Structure 1
Amino acid sequence: MEIIQAPAGCFDLLHQKPFHSPSISIRNRISSLSLTSINNTSPLSLNNSRKLLTASCSLLDDALSVQTFEVDPMLDIKKKAMVVSPGLKGTSIYLVGINSTMKSRLGNLLAEALRYYYFDSDNLVMEAAGGEAAVKQLLDMDKVGLRESETEVLRQLSSMGRLVVSAGDGAVQTSTNLSLLRHGISIWVDVPLDLVAKEIVEGGVRLFGSDISPTASHSEVLSRLSMLYKQMQEGYAIADVTISLQKVAGGLGYEDVESVSAEDMGMEVLTEIEKLIRVKKMMEDAARPF
Structure 2
Amino acid sequence: MFLLCSAHLASVIKVAATDLSLAVKKKAADVSPELKGSSIFLIGMKSSLKTNLGKQLADVLRYYYFDSDNLVEEAIGGASAAKSFKESDETGFYDSETEVLKQLSSMGRLVVCAGNGAVQNSTNLALLRHGITFWIDLPLEIVARDVTENPTQFPSFEISTSGSYPEVMDELCALYNKYKDGYATADAIISLQKVASRLGYESLDDITTEDMALEVLGEIEKLTRVKKMMAEAARPF
TM over 0.5: yes
Alignment TM-score, normalising by the size of structure 1: 0.74
The reply on whether 1:213 has 2:160 as its aligned counterpart is yes
Verify: 1:111 aligned to 2:58, yes or no.
yes
Matching of residues 135-284 of structure 1 within 5 Å: 135-205=82-152, 207-208=154-155, 210-284=157-231
Identify, as 1 or 2, the structure richer in helix. 2
> Taking every aligned residue pair, what percent have the same amino acid on both sides?
57
1:98 aligns with 2:45: yes
Higher mean displacement: 233-242 or 277-286: 277-286
Q: Quick one: structure 1 residues 209 and 235, their matched pair in 2 at CA, closer, same or farther if it must change by over 3 Å?
A: farther
Query: Given the two structures, how large is their TM-score scaled by the length of structure 2?
Result: 0.90
CA contact (8 A) 1:151 1:177 kept: yes
**What are the ranges of 5 or more consecutive residues in structure 2 without an aligned counterpart?**
none
Shift of 1:205: 3.7
Structure 1: segments with no counterpart, 5+ residues: 1-21, 24-61
Post-superposition offset of 1:276? 0.4
**Cα shift readout 1:165-209 (whole Å, capped 9, x = no counterpart):** 010000000110000000000010011100110111122245325
Counterparts in 2 of 1:209 and 1:155: CA distance versus 1, 3 Å: farther
For residues 227 and 173 of structure 1, the distance between their equivalents in structure 2, rounded to whole angstroms, comes to 14
What's the counterpart of residue 78 of structure 1? 25
Structure ID, larger Rg:
1
Q: Is the 8 A contact 1:120 1:165 kept in 2?
A: yes
Whole-angstrom distance in 2 between the partners of 1:204 and 1:104: 14
Confirm or deny: 8 A CA contact 1:106 1:262 kept in the other structure. Answer: yes
Shift of 1:248: 0.5
Q: Deviations over 1:102-144 (max 9, x none)?
A: 1100000000010000000111111110111110111210111
Report what 1:49 is aligned to: none
Give, in whole Å, the separation in 1 of the partners of 2:42 and 2:64.
Answer: 13
Contact 1:139 1:209 survives alignment (8 Å): no
Give the aligned residue type for 2:59: E
> Match for 2:112: what amino acid?
V
Q: Which residue pairs with 1:121 in the alignment?
A: 68
